């Protein structure tokens, strides 16, 4: 690991490497103390496998296997790899041995259909990791001559898309009917809350370049997690998530679950009025269950948990959310960031309460395979530290199109038309980034 002079643009590094035929990933959050990582090439992959998780070499050969629930099994494999490779070397967090990627909403199920290029879990140790932390940039090679990847020149960029044709994968009226049915079943006591998502398909009149979309998302949502994960079939999963699933730094853990949202106002006064509406009982009832659930899960592996008991309103470019920041001090030996992500996922913010009942409702009413939507995406290092976001405000891109995903928490008494409108607001994050 060495510090690089200057401050290379991570998206440009990823774009050049991908154009040159290398596998790439990116997790970026351009904030003062945040960690951003670009992954160029491949040294190892941690992937889901029947009855567990496997460690694969650069050529795809299986090097190790761990049985059990996929995320927990992958966390065990990661600890073994870090011990063998000396991954806990001294240096800034996010440097040395590092892996990027994530897992599906249902990590025990292999995604199907358009998600053919994505296993249920994929965490890649790149040939070269380029990490930015506190204004400094570091290169961590995992194979010989990996730093040559820093010298790949930018390639020609095809004209970008200027127009989109948007087609709901399911008629809006059908989705509203599903929301109404969910409301009836919730009122009957089948569950307290369920999250229902929609899918739309965007066809463009030009190239939809993943790097260009990432640049647009970074510019529009600087406080969010911009992420890009390439699939084995040439697709790319990309998004700008506002929601932190879990961050581990030593024995300190932070989570910031979100539930409840409204649009931004036309001016500051309207912003404040809409934000005040989020603190009404309707939204608070939806929100309360999420931080309480997260705090309860963390309590099982912590010596102390700080839950403020009161949410705050956080504002992004086109939307405002209720969020609660929860902090905990882990027991020793501390579970890794990946193990903690498996413990917390899926939160009620993306699944529902009780979870088993909510998942049944999702299967019966939603009508599509979520794949990695509402799963987790982020980075982990050899010390066990890491940061994973909930995979929201996202899309699955191909050459001239994309599948986009957005969902809402539904409780008894929900208004289908209002829920539909809220998903349209969430779709805008990706739709605006797809066009030049």
Which are the catalytic amino acids? 193, 243
Q: How far apart are CA 398 and CA 395, in angstroms?
A: 10
Contacts of 404 (CB under 8 A, 6+ apart): 199, 200, 201, 202, 394, 395, 427, 430, 431
| Secondary structure letter of residue 303 according to DSSP | E
Other Cβ atoms within 10 Å of 133 Cβ, number: 17
List residues bridging with 390 in a β-sheet: 376
What distance in Å separates the CA atoms of residue 25 and residue 52, rounded to the nearest whole number? 23
Rg of the chain on CA atoms, in Å: 21
And the tokens for 277?
């509406």
The answer to whether residues 178 and 367 touch, using CB atoms and an 8 Å cutoff, is: yes
Q: Are 227 and 29 in contact (CB under 8 A)?
A: no
If we measure between CA atoms, which residue out of 92, 84, 80, 169 comes closest to residue 129? 92
Closest by alpha carbon to 165, among 199, 198, 200? 200
Tokens representing 239 are 């998004």
Look-up of token digits 């309480």: 292
- Residue in 227, 233, 232 with CA at minimum distance from that of residue 211: 227
Q: Provide the 3-class DSSP secondary structure of residue 110.
A: coil
3-state secondary structure of 356: helix
DSSP secondary structure letter of residue 424: H
The answer to whether 21 and 217 have CB atoms below 8 angstroms apart is no
Q: How many CB atoms lie within 10 A of CB 61?
A: 8
Return d(Cα 18, Cα 430) in angstroms, integer: 21
Q: How far apart are CA 301 and CA 169, in angstroms?
A: 41
Please check whether residue 226 is in contact with residue 218, taking contact to mean a CB–CB distance below 8 angstroms.
yes
């Amino acid at each position: 690991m060495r510090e690089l002079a200057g401050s290379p643009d991570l998206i440009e590094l990823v774009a050049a490497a991908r154009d040159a035929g290398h596998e790439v990933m990116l997790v970026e959050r351009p904030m003062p103390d945040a960690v951003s990582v670009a992954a160029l090439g491949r040294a190892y992959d941690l992937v889901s496998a029947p009855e567990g998780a496997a460690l694969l070499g650069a050529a795809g050969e299986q090097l190790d296997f761990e049985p059990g629930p996929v995320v927990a099994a992958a966390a065990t494999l990661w600890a073994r790899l870090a011990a063998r490779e000396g991954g806990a070397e001294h240096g800034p967090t996010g440097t040395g041995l590092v892996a990027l990627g994530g897992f599906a909403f249902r990590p025990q199920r292999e995604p199907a259909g358009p998600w053919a290029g994505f296993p249920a879990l994929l965490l890649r140790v790149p040939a070269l990791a380029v990490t930015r932390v506190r204004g400094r940039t570091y290169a961590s090679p995992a194979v010989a001559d990996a730093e040559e990847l820093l010298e790949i020149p930018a390639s020609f960029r095809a004209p970008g898309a200027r127009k989109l044709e948007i087609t709901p994968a399911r008629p809006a009226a059908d989705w509203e009917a599903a929301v109404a049915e969910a409301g009836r079943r919730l009122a009957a006591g089948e569950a307290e809350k369920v999250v229902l998502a929609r899918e739309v398909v965007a066809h463009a009149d030009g190239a939809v370049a993943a790097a260009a979309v990432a640049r647009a998302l970074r510019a529009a949502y600087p406080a969010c997690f911009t992420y890009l994960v390439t699939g084995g079939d040439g697709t790319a999963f990309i998004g700008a998530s506002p929601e932190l699933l879990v961050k581990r730094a030593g024995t300190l853990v932070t989570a910031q679950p979100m539930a409840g949202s409204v649009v931004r106002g036309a001016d500051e006064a309207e912003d404040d009025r809409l934000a005040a509406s989020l603190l009404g009982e309707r939204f608070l009832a939806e929100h309360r269950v999420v931080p309480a659930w997260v705090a309860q899960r963390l309590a099982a592996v912590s010596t102390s948990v700080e839950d403020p008991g009161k949410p705050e309103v956080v504002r992004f470019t086109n939307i405002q959310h209720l969020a609660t920041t929860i902090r905990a001090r882990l027991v020793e030996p501390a579970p890794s960031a990946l193990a903690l992500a498996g413990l917390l996922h899926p939160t009620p913010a993306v699944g529902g309460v009780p979870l088993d009942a909510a998942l049944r409702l999702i299967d019966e009413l939603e009508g599509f395979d979520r794949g990695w939507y509402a799963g987790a995406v982020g980075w982990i290092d050899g010390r066990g530290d890491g940061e994973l976001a909930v995979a929201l405000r996202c899309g699955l891109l191909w050459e001239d199109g994309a599948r986009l995903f957005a969902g809402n928490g539904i409780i008894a008494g929900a208004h289908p038309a209002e829920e539909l409108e809220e998903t349209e607001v969430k779709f805008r994050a990706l739709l605006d980034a797809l066009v030049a």
